[in-house]
Structure 1
């Protein structure tokens, strides 16, 4: 019934869906973590008490609260209760510096910040049991949340996502087997859009969501087996660590129906390994927190397209543009832009940044610029080449770091690799690599550099290669290339090619 209702409803709210599940299936599990669990009746009642408390405190619809906490049932309930009151939520990353948190809190104009200590004492703040909030009107254009960008390329920006965008994400889940029997295991934080694009559909369709406070590969497998998990969202580095667990095959993962991935490059070899050894389908989403274009790769259905990120989702219009903003013809390579029913309102209080993120076609249709360089193959699958900001221009030639990273990973000693451009008096920029070696391998940096340089074009040769214990990453697995550039700022002027 819930699936049919969602399919036929142009717009609804996640909070309203939870209310219906509480009325129809009150005892069904809704949320769980290591310490607490709530059925749908309990979650619905808690959301009412949270919404009523926010209204009591004078926080009006459209105003904002912030959270800065580890994933938990109570953080999730606070998020959902605020939505019922029409209050906007800005989930902030606890790992941010105090200065960055202060800036994000101020930028969001949050009326209140809830941290882990606040959530531990939330019962004292809640409205009394049985309290019901005053009804509020929520429209598709009403702001839902403010997600702050990861800051992988600079200062985080607040991305305002409306309720209509989140409902589009829910409806996008129709083919993926969500429903009352689904158990979604999540090991990424609730401040990340990566998590939320699965979290909200799971509850809207009436399934259970199990939250991990911190990702650990073996613990994840233990929970997945014990809970009979059917759905999950993981980032590529988590898939990599899970598949590397020595006794991975010893865990019963047969209940899995759907595994999702997004947020970072997902190598074809790793996709193939997941398909071969982990039951259930594998779906990769390519898109931005800002919305716009989305590509979907159903890897299990297209095993010869694992080097791509799939085809544009239904209702999505994706195109390629040149550096000067001209739309490019089929077969070209250019920046990916997209339009869809799910698009941000804009960057919070940053109209200039919003304008920079937008592109309009000749008819005035609004697209979001991804900053990614790619091309579509003959079957309409998108092949990503690199981030526009990461592309290295050396001696007038474009060098895509992803090409060099893929080549480095072919060496048996290389577990992970990242390539950045550094200043060069002779070439303008030149590529430098950072490599994490596999356990048991002692290959020297210079030997690895020479190995790669013998296999790539003259203009692609590395000026230097550094061995590191690990690559700097955001909480959802994106390599922080700006930190690597800071480590490799010494100009290179005399290295021969």
Structure 2
């Protein structure tokens, strides 16, 4: 006898694709995915997932192989992602804002058999050679590429059942994507299932309506998208965030849940019409991916109905902290406490645990952990820490301190990653491009505070002797070679960079210098 959704959700491990099938049996006409042009209910979603899975099997894409999706969020995007999972195929969701060269690198790295794309990405990819054997399928009405409908197996097709183990790859998320060598973070099915089971505590049931306004290639979105679908609720997809549209959709669909990054919250709260909007349907709002100021949290709690939860963690998984801001208004300066079942510790530079109240690097362990970086065992080893009992933890590179109540306050990031508008930006990627400019002798990229983006990258540049390039010339030249989310907001010319005794650039001094000049 087929299991009900409720029975499946009680299992220690299960498959999201199987849950969709159970919801389709129970409520086939309930809306599942909605975008600006179309919608599908659970019955149709289940059937289209079967067609996607059958098509992949027909085209010899085996369990454990990968496909890639690079497009704006849409119903078709969700259908292909979920259908691939039913076939046991891993999905690499890629950023459409990446350069053509970086996309080609990531496609080759994950050995994708198919790339599902839209017109914007098709134009981007037209400038580079694609990996041998890669097949293209379009998700929209862009010309020149086989359409999804033409590729799909006939209606009524049923795939051959496959066995999917808990540690099998669910998706591969790339942590870097414009220059250099990207790292593909392999997240297993067990990790996503842990997210689904955790989300049941926050009202992700079959009457929930979740508004996804961040891209589907981002783990920020996926930790909300999959629990919403797994719970049998409705997901409304925005191809691009716009504050006024977000509020309009929230009211039209009586939205109950949303995951937003801090810069989106700031733009919403700054709108003159915000307090006139009816947001009473909201049960819970979430935030992650970037520093979230206590003042902004307090403003949201005061003016936006429903609870507010901040997650602190990594795409790589490991330990997660959660701040239930509506329950702990006196802890808004923290990122909360470790989630139940998550072991979070602090270690010093030598990898030794630090005493309570001391500052150390955050490491974490839980059921939700990446298998590793795809094809990069050395990078995987660098990201791991083992305790005295041999238990595996993931290193965050962040420095923090626990207070007496067990709430974690982040002090700084050991890594120099910049988080701008919820997107991870790696200074080394930008520097690699900057150094190619013929007038640049030396340089460094740092993140500085930005009201609009949370943080924004700027570059400090030392010119070659005799060079006459202006700061604006260098900025424009560099930005023309970077992805849209990575562009420099400013270039500062300087005669030298501050360095320590072993020659390492002191980026903190550069940030302080910029802050003083801007004050």
Bin for the TM-score computed over the shorter chain = 0.7 to 0.9
Question: How far off its partner does 1:104 sit?
Answer: 0.6
Q: Deviations over 1:186-234 (max 9, x none)?
A: 1001100000001000011100000000000001000101010000000
Which of 92, 95, 106 does residue 94 from structure 2 map onto?
92
Query: Where does residue 294 of structure 1 map in the other structure?
Result: 320
Q: CA deviation at 1:156?
A: 2.9
How many residues get paired?
A: 431
Q: Kindly tell me: are residues 322 and 312 of structure 1, through their superposed partners in 2, closer, same or farther at Cα, counting changes over 3 Å?
A: same
In structure 2, C-alpha distance between the alignment counterparts of 1:328 and 1:369, rounded to whole Å: 15
Residue 286 of structure 2 aligns with which residue? 260
In structure 2, the CA distance between the partners of 1:265 and 1:192, relative to structure 1 (3 Å rule), is same
Counterpart of 2:64? 62
CA drift at 1:389: 2.0
Provide Cα deviations, 1:23-60, integer angstroms capped at 9, x if missing partner: 00000000000001000000000000000000000000
- Shift of residue 433, structure 1, vs aligned partner: 7.8
Q: Is the 8 A contact 2:170 2:186 kept in 1?
A: yes
1:234 to 260, 272, 278: 260
Assess if the C-alpha contact under 8 Å between 1:292 and 1:343 holds in 2.
yes
Superposed counterparts of 1:85-124, under 5 Å: 85-117=87-119, 118-120=138-140, 121-124=147-150
Q: Aligned ranges for residues 34-73 of structure 1 at < 5 Å?
A: 34-73=36-75
Asked whether the equivalents of residues 259 and 281 of structure 1 are also in contact (C-alpha less than 8 Å), the reply is: yes
Q: Deviations over 1:354-399 (max 9, x none)?
A: 00000000110000000100010110000001110239xxxxxxxx
1:336-415 correspondence to structure 2 within 5 Å: 336-390=362-416
> 1:110 is paired with a residue of what secondary structure?
coil
Q: Residue 71 of structure 1 contacts residue 189 of structure 1 at CA under 8 Å; is this kept in 2?
A: yes
Q: 2:496 aligns with which of 486, 491, 496?
A: 491
Structure 1 residues 153, 309: CA separation in 2 closer, same or farther (over 3 Å shift)?
farther
State the distance in 2 between where 1:38 and 1:432 align. Answer: 44
Q: What does the per-residue CA deviation read over 1:230-280, in whole Å, with 9 as the maximum and x for residues that have no partner?
A: 000000000000101111011110000010110010000000011110000
Q: Which residue of 2 aligns with 1:190?
A: 216
Cα 1:437–1:315 shift into 2, 3 Å: closer
1:172 aligns with 2:198: yes
In the TM superposition, structure 1's runs of 4+ consecutive aligned residues that sit over 6 Å from their partners are 429-433, 493-497
| Residues 49 and 127 in structure 1, CA contact (< 8 A), matched pair in contact too | yes
Indicate the residue corresponding to 1:8 in structure 2: 10
Return the TM-score normalized by structure 1: 0.81
- Structure 1 residues 297 and 490, CA gap change in structure 2 (3 angstroms): farther
The alpha-carbon deviation at position 152 of structure 1 amounts to 9.7
Q: Is the Cα–Cα contact under 8 Å of residues 6 and 171 in structure 1 kept in the other structure?
A: no
CA distance, structure 2, for counterparts of residue 430 and residue 132 of structure 1: 54
Q: Which whole-Å CA distance do the structure 1 matches of 2:490 and 2:404 have between them? A: 36
Of residues 3-12 and 150-159 in structure 1, the stretch that sits farther from structure 2 once superposed is 150-159
- Distance change in 2, residues 1:152/1:356 (3 Å): farther
Q: Which residue pairs with 2:79 in the alignment? A: 77
The change in CA–CA distance for 1:370 and 1:435 in structure 2 (over 3 A counts) is closer
The 1-side partners of 2:6 and 2:332 are apart by 32
Output the CA distance in 2 between the equivalents of 1:261 and 1:250: 23
| Aligned residue number for residue 19 of structure 1 | 21
Q: Deviations over 1:422-471 (max 9, x none)?
A: 9xxxxxx9998856579xxxxxxxxxxxxxxxxxxxxxxxxxxxxx9xxx
Deviates more, 1:92-101 or 1:111-120: 111-120
Q: TM-score, normalised by structure 2?
A: 0.78
Distance 1:178 1:6, change over 3 A: farther
Q: Which residue matches 1:269?
A: 295
**Preserved contact between residue 363 and residue 395 of structure 2 (Cα < 8 Å):** yes
Say if 1:143 and 1:489 are closer, same or farther in 2 by CA, change over 3 A.
farther
Cα offset, 1:80, TM superposition: 0.2
Do 2:416 and 2:446's aligned partners in 1 also have CA atoms closer than 8 Å?
no
Q: CA deviation at 1:112?
A: 1.2
1:164 alignment partner, SS class: helix
Pair 1:377–1:106, CA change in 2 (3 A) = same
- Where 1:275 maps in the other structure, the secondary structure is helix
Unpaired runs of 5+ residues, structure 1, are 392-400, 403-417, 423-428, 439-467
Residue 432 and residue 387 in structure 1: after superposition, are their counterparts in 2 closer, same or farther (change >3 A)?
A: closer
Distance 1:146 1:493 in 2: 38
Secondary structure at the counterpart of residue 173 of structure 1: helix
- 1:224 is aligned, of 250, 270, 286, to 250
User: For residue 161 of structure 1, what is the aligned residue in structure 2?
Assistant: 187
Distance 1:165 1:488, change over 3 A: farther
Distance 1:85 1:14 in 2: 12
